[in-house]
Amino acid sequence: MNEQEKHSQHGDDDLVEETRMLSLGEDEVVEETVEAGQKVRRRGIYLLPNLFTTAALFSGFYAIVSAMNGAFDNAAIAIFISMVLDGLDGRVARMTNTQSDFGAEYDSLADMVSFGVAPALVAFSWMLSDIGKLGWFAAFIYVAGAALRLARFNTQIGSADKRWFIGLPSPAAAAIVAGIVWTFSDLDLSAPGYKYVLAFLVAAIGVLMVSNVRYNSFKEIDFKGRVPFLTLFVIALVFVVIAYDPATVLLVFFLGYGCSGPFRAVFKGKKA
């Protein structure tokens, strides 16, 4: 191969590499590339929505560390904080028009830590470790359910009915586990029966995440539209009730949401 052919071959390689980089999307992590023998910088990632995702990831990690140190209240609260931050990152991305494939993947990985690994380890550190293999088996069912739930959700984006979630959403599942820990962590629940009940609940929540049970997504609610004046007063009362006993109120709310899917499926089955 002569020098001209080598130069042509290198040029073709550069073109292929450049095409491959562009096919990843302009929002992917590409620091620099080569064009006509010169290095040219490409766009990186959007900062604002990924800051919220990073904060949610930190809260999930903090929940794990707190549970390892026996601070179960703090661990449960950190999971709820992670839920709030996880809800904000997507909305911020849409409001600022900074959605990206990288952000979606990063959000899924953060969700796996905050709503998959963290709740399972918090429950395991709190009670499940006392019942041996059955405890970690129940915790693993939850973790596996969360991983499969997130993977299925990512593959159904754009094709599923936006009015419904297929399977219990992982943030709601994490909220149920965190609510149980937060509500009952100060009580003396040393009897083995309580621990077996917790193992059953954690495993059942993991199964619900991978089930075909439908849950309302509430995405049809128009937050930009006008509402009656009384609605604002009712919302204020809801905040007052939550502030009075946040652990119990949040547990009841998310437990009710978790039961709503199976109840709807049973009711529709009997009706048919």
Q: Which pLDDT value is given to residue 191? A: 84
Taking CA atoms, 8 is separated from 13, 20, 21, 38, 172, in Å, by: 9, 18, 20, 17, 57
Residue 83 CA to its chain's centroid (Å): 7
Q: Which pLDDT value is given to residue 24? A: 44
Q: Which pLDDT value is given to residue 25? A: 46
Which bin fits 25, alpha (ψ -120 to 50), beta or left (φ > 0)?
A: left
Task: Look up the pTM and report it.
Answer: 0.80
The two three-digit tokens of residue 100, written as one number: 């990206």
Q: Exposed, middle or buried, 99 (CB in 10 Å: 0-12/13-18/19+)?
A: middle
Q: Helix crossing, 170-184 with 72-95: angle to 10°? A: 150
Q: Which pLDDT value is given to residue 23? A: 42
CB 72 within 8 A of CB 186: no
Residue 49 CA to its chain's centroid (Å): 15
Q: Which pLDDT value is given to residue 146? A: 96
Instruction: Tell me the pLDDT of the chain (272 aa) as tens digits.
Output: 555 544 445 444 444 444 444 444 444 555 555 555 666 555 667 777 889 999 999 999 999 999 999 999 999 999 999 999 998 888 888 888 887 888 888 999 999 999 999 999 999 999 999 998 999 999 999 999 999 999 998 887 766 667 888 999 999 999 999 999 999 987 877 788 999 999 999 999 999 999 999 998 877 666 666 778 788 888 899 889 888 899 999 999 999 999 998 988 888 766 55
Please state, in angstroms and rounded to a whole number, the distance separating the CA atoms of residues 255 and 172. 8
Angle at 107 between CA 106 and CA 109, to 5 degrees: 65
Q: Which pLDDT value is given to residue 39? A: 63
Exposure b/e, 254-271, CB count within 10 A at least 16 = b? bbebbebbeeeeeeeeee
Q: Which pLDDT value is given to residue 15? A: 43
